[in-house]
Amino acid sequence: MAMIIMKFLLLSLFLNLQVILSENMPTTASQEAGYGYGGEIGGFLRIDLYKFACPEAEAIIFSWVNKAVMEDSRMAASLLRLHFHDCFVNGCDASVLLDDTESFVGEKTAAPNLNSLRGFEIIDAIKAELESVCPQTVSCADILAIAARDSVLLSGGPGWDVQMGRKDSFTASKAAANNNIPGPNSTVPILIAKFQNLGLDLRNMVALSGAHTMGKARCSTFSARLQDTSIHSPLDFIESLQQLCSGSDSGTTLAHLDLVTPATFDNQYYVNLISGEGLLPSDQALITGDDRTRELVQTYANDLFTFFEDFKNSMLKMGNIGVATGIDGEIRTNCRTIN
């Protein structure tokens, strides 16, 4: 626990230093494009947005995420996944958190999310405390982005400056969730296309796939792997999956996405792919489906630092997709419903 708290304090010191430095640095072309420390993103997102409006915000979010991960290490992957599934549907606007209403069907019952997404109660708890400390100040979309960063950090991964200022959406889209979120049986061309539709390139796609170094998946999501007898997958690995998923309740049985270090954010995921032990067909396809993705997998498997840097930069890029600002969004008081 002391080590975790110290890690957060060091990260906070780093973030504050970056803010101080940024205030005295000239604006560069990269900052104008949306990647500068402390700079505005399209005139809206800033890393220091809550510095005065709600200085306790990041500490409150970190405290809740830390508690959740200490109680259930899998929650780190779940909170990270919430941010992914939010950003892939009409941008990072917390639409994934909305419950169904009379005017729209939310995203929680979409195929990629139903009986799969979790962690909503953690976001509810974070929002409730933030509303008591800083009413209508911190958006649900920003909570998701910060919680995702903290989940990675608490699991041994890199930290980064989360750019803030997203507004929450007024609606959600089950249809867009079904269409935009890559499925577990996606081929490399499908993965590339879905990421490119959001402005994310091939390198972003392979780096962000590394999020599967944590968490679990149901047998139903990797059933195609159970028949895989190719040279790319060791027979004992396939047999272990077949045995795990042979029960009558196999539809809900869970398997680790990374059998070696399932609760640690590292580059073991890529090592597994090289040895043919990627769990989801869409994971193993990064080795078998395209020379470019295979080369990146090998790079990340051999170089943890490069993976961390590319993952961090890709998360920042993803976090800026379709951001709702101004009158296009609001700051919800309850993440499940519009105000």
Q: What is the pLDDT of residue 326?
A: 80
Measured from the Cβ of residue 114, the count of other Cβ atoms closer than 10 Å reads 12
pLDDT in tens, 100-118: 998 889 999 999 999 899 9
- Residue positions in the annotated binding site? 86, 89, 91, 93, 95, 107, 182, 212-213, 258, 261, 266
- The answer as to whether 49 is a domain residue is no
Q: Report the catalytic residues.
A: 85
Which residues are annotated binding-site positions for substrate? 182
CATH number at 87 reads 1.10.420.10
Instruction: Look at residues 265, 319, 290 and name the one whose alpha carbon lies nearest to residue 206.
Output: 290
Total domains present in the chain: 1
Q: N- to C-terminal Cα distance for the chain?
A: 37
Q: Please list the alpha-helical segments (H only) found in the chain.
A: 2-22, 29-33, 50-53, 57-71, 74-87, 120-133, 140-154, 174-180, 188-196, 202-209, 235-244, 268-274, 281-288, 291-302, 304-318
pLDDT score of 325: 79
Q: Is residue 67 part of a domain?
A: yes
- Give me the pLDDT at residue 13, please: 45
Q: What's 47's DSSP letter?
A: T
Predicted local confidence at residue 229, as pLDDT? 64
* Dihedral of the alpha carbons of 291, 292, 295, 300, in degrees to the nearest 10: -140
Residue 10 is assigned to a structural domain of this protein: no
Q: Does any domain span residue 327?
A: no
Is 12 domain-assigned? no
Q: From CA 306, how far away is CA 324, in angstroms rounded?
A: 31
**In-domain check, residue 332:** no
CB under 8 Å to 141, separation ≥6 — which residues? 86, 92, 93, 94, 166, 167, 168, 169, 323, 324, 329
Quote the pLDDT of residue 282. 96
pLDDT of residue 7: 52
Specify if 25 maps to a domain: no
Residue 5 resides in a domain:
no
Q: What is the Cα–Cα distance from 41 to 320, expressed in whole angstroms?
A: 8
Binding site per annotation, positions for Ca(2+) = 86, 89, 91, 93, 95, 107, 213, 258, 261, 266
Domain span holding position 228: 56-320
The predicted pLDDT at position 230 comes to: 63
Q: How many CB atoms lie within 10 A of CB 125?
A: 14
pLDDT of residue 327: 86
Nearest to 197 by CA among 35, 321, 85: 321
Residue ranges of the chain whose pLDDT lies below 70: 1-43, 229-231
